[in-house]
A = this chain, B = another copy of it.
Amino acid sequence: MHGYEGSRDELLARLRRIEGQVRGLQRMIDEDRYCIDVLTQISSATRALQGVAVNMLDDHVRHCVRDAIEQGPTAADERIDEALDVIHRLIRN
């Protein structure tokens, strides 16, 4: 059981929409669309992906990290380290 159990359907729907945006980007380039329009669409897909990351991270901290801390120090250390590691990557992205 993972943190995203409760939001699985919504996550999948959002990722399908992002997949559609990335396919749309290929079509725009095939159709020779203006750079600025393509860039606007890339920026929107990027933001949508970051939105999925932020929601997933929230679920993870609220469930998985919290459970691990309640289970005791050993499980906690590992979970906290890997959560902070992924948070660093998202901040630097």
Q: Which residues of A contact B (CB under 8 A)?
A: 2-4, 8, 11-12, 15-16, 18-19, 22-23, 25-26, 29-30, 32-36, 38-40, 42-43, 45-47, 49-50, 52-54, 56-62, 64, 66, 69-70, 76, 80, 82-84, 86-93
Copies in the complex: 4
A50 contact set on B, CB distance < 8 A? 46, 91, 93
The reply to whether A60 and B36 form a contact with Cβ atoms under 8 Å apart is yes
Q: Is the interface of A mostly helix, strand, loop or mixed?
A: helix
**Contact B42 A3, beta carbon cutoff 8 Å:** no
Chain B residue nearest to A21 in the complex (CB)? B22
Contacts of A47 in B (CB 8 A): 93
* Contact, CB under 8 Å: B26 / A19: yes
